[in-house]
A and B are shown apart, each in its own frame.
Chain A
Amino acid sequence: MENGVMLGIRLTLLGMSVVFASLIALALLMGALSVFGGPRQPRNARTPVAPGNVESGKANDAKVVAAIAAALAYHLELSSAPRVLSIKKVGGTSPSWGAAGRQAQMIERARMFVRRGSNR
């Protein structure tokens, strides 16, 4: 029994050390990978979005804003279209988990918005 427990302690110490060492090594490799293969833009470079402004300067922005506002009003069952503060295109490089998360968050916020009413 004692031998078994001693073996277990040895396995635990060795096992956890190797697991941590392996995953730390992988984390460092991933860090190095981002230097060579990471996105070209600076990490924290996020396009500033000023209230009331709409990203990109295409000619049909006003139509796009109107369409999105109308869709929101319909989806949230509002009597009038909401005031759109900003519209930002979600980049194609976004991870699918990120996209799924944003979608879930939008749905949850929309539900809360409807529950609270539209008197803001």
Chain B
Amino acid sequence: MLWADLYDFITSSGFLSLDWRGAVMLVVGGVLIYLAIEKRYEPLLLLPIGFGVLLANIPKAGLMEPGGLLSFLYLGVKLGIYPPLIFLGVGAMTDFGPLIANPKTFLLGAAAQFGIFTTLLGALALGFTPQQAASIGIIGGADGPTAIFLTSKLAPELLGPIAVAAYSYMALVPIIQPPIMKALTTKKERSVVMEQLRPVSRKERILFPIVVMIATGLLLPSALALIGMLMFGNLLREAGVVDRLSKTAQNELINIVTIFLGLTVGATTRGEVFLTLSTIYIILLGLAAFSIGTAAGVLLGKLMYALSGGKVNPLIGSAGVSAVPMAARVSQVVGQKENPGNFLLMHAMGPNVAGVIGSAVAAGILLAILQ
């Protein structure tokens, strides 16, 4: 009897059910956790994602099976709730002042979305369905919540690899972007010192989120969940009369949602789903999307440099991919290497936050056509 119980216990444990895919995924989860803790690569997301990978690949635990703990938390992803809530917090944390002061930088935020659509073409050529291709292309927007939002609607089966690729590339912005920026610009262009931005009035700051929400909402209702929450968060910040709500959106709310989002996105990476040729394609296409977006932003920056008589530093164009604020910091660092007295951060924040709006608009278009 005792032996029979012991036999049952051993056969019900996960050790005997752990196949090579599960083992590889446990290593992948470990690597993500290592990158988050030791390398500080997007730790707020890579740490929960990495742990979610571990949780999902423990055999027989069934956390993502119907009725499992993570399956309930995953409803927030499946129903498209978490990404807009993240945008609410992002809006409350974002200063749109540089964009309001220099609206021309909206164009740079638009150009950087070119990577999304060119990669969509590449994914279609590789045999992905249009919905899957659009979800892969959106990695080029360098915007994690937008990528998750679109993928959960169009191609939920690819959510794991796309989320991991999107956040990995966002973490690798300081490594991926500088070579492209340097290759496409001359020393003279990189050394341009831009004029100080004008001050922005409180009235403009308050009107901005309202005007943007109404305009984009009317033009593209499918993008309203993201843009609407982003702008509502920003209005909480700029109104100056709901400090408690603004702080909650910036801290507790976004932190709680980040934990749920990270864990459940990580938990979608079951070995049998993740370790496929498609994942390798997604990783490569994501890199292409990111690089093309960066290059398109810089090239439009060069055009603005030429048209403005050398007043615009093209390096701020790369910040049009919406990894906020890393992409803007990269513009600052690369610019300061050429001219230590140069200061591009606030100029780059314009295209950077425009990129957030641009990638949400791009997601709205893809959703409107392909859903």
Question: Are A94 and B203 in touch, CB under 8 angstroms?
Answer: no
Other 5 A-B pairs with CB < 8 A, given A4-B124, A26-B106: A14-B369, A19-B362, A30-B100, A97-B345, A98-B197
B positions within 8 Å CB-CB of A: 95, 97-101, 103-104, 106-107, 109-110, 113-114, 116-118, 120-121, 124-125, 127, 130, 133-134, 196-204, 207-208, 211-212, 215-216, 219-220, 332, 336, 340-341, 343, 345-346, 349, 354, 357-358, 361-362, 365-366, 369
Spot the interface stretch: A56-64, A68-76, A81-89, A101-109.
A101-109
CB-CB under 8 A from B97, the residues of chain A are 95-98
How far is B78's CA from A55's CA once the two chains are assembled, in angstroms?
Answer: 58
Tell me if A93 is interfacial: C-beta within 8 Å of chain B.
Answer: yes
Q: Which residue of A lies closest to B108 (CB)?
A: A23
Chain A residues bordering chain B, tally (CB within 8 A): 46
Q: Which of A95, A102, A108 contacts B101 (CB 8 A)?
A: A95
Q: Which of B120, B199, B207, B208 contacts A94 (CB 8 A)?
A: B199
CB-CB under 8 A from A20, the residues of chain B are 107, 110
Tell me if A50 is interfacial: C-beta within 8 Å of chain B.
Answer: no
Question: Taking the nearest CB of chain A, how far is it from the CB of B39, in angstroms?
Answer: 23
How far is B295's CA from A69's CA once the two chains are assembled, in angstroms?
Answer: 45
Chain A binding surface, main DSSP class: helix
CB-CB under 8 A from B202, the residues of chain A are 93
Question: Taking the nearest CB of chain B, how far is it from the CB of A71, in angstroms?
Answer: 22
A positions within 8 Å CB-CB of B: 1, 4-5, 7-9, 11-12, 14-16, 18-20, 22-31, 33-34, 37-40, 43, 91, 93-98, 100-102, 104-105, 108-109, 112
Question: Taking the nearest CB of chain A, how far is it from the CB of B294, in angstroms?
Answer: 16
Question: Are B106 and A24 in touch, CB under 8 angstroms?
Answer: yes
Q: Which residue of B lies closest to A106 (CB)?
A: B343
CB-CB under 8 A from B204, the residues of chain A are 33-34, 37-38
Most-contacted residue by chain B among A25, A94, A95 (CB, 10 A): A95
Question: Taking the nearest CB of chain B, how far is it from the CB of A98, in angstroms?
Answer: 5
CB-CB under 8 A from B98, the residues of chain A are 95, 97-98
CB-CB under 8 A from A101, the residues of chain B are 332, 343, 345-346
Question: Are B220 and A23 in touch, CB under 8 angstroms?
Answer: no
How far is B122's CA from A1's CA once the two chains are assembled, in angstroms?
Answer: 11
How far is B124's CA from A31's CA once the two chains are assembled, in angstroms?
Answer: 39
Q: Which residue of B lies closest to A92 (CB)?
A: B199
Q: Which of A7, A18, A22, A39 contacts B199 (CB 8 A)?
A: A39
How far is B103's CA from A100's CA once the two chains are assembled, in angstroms?
Answer: 21
A-B contact pairs, 30 of them (CB 8 A): A4-B125, A4-B133, A5-B121, A5-B124, A8-B117, A8-B130, A8-B133, A11-B120, A11-B134, A12-B120, A14-B365, A20-B107, A24-B107, A24-B110, A26-B103, A26-B357, A29-B212, A30-B106, A30-B211, A37-B201, A39-B199, A91-B199, A95-B101, A97-B97, A97-B349, A98-B98, A101-B345, A108-B336, A109-B341, A112-B340
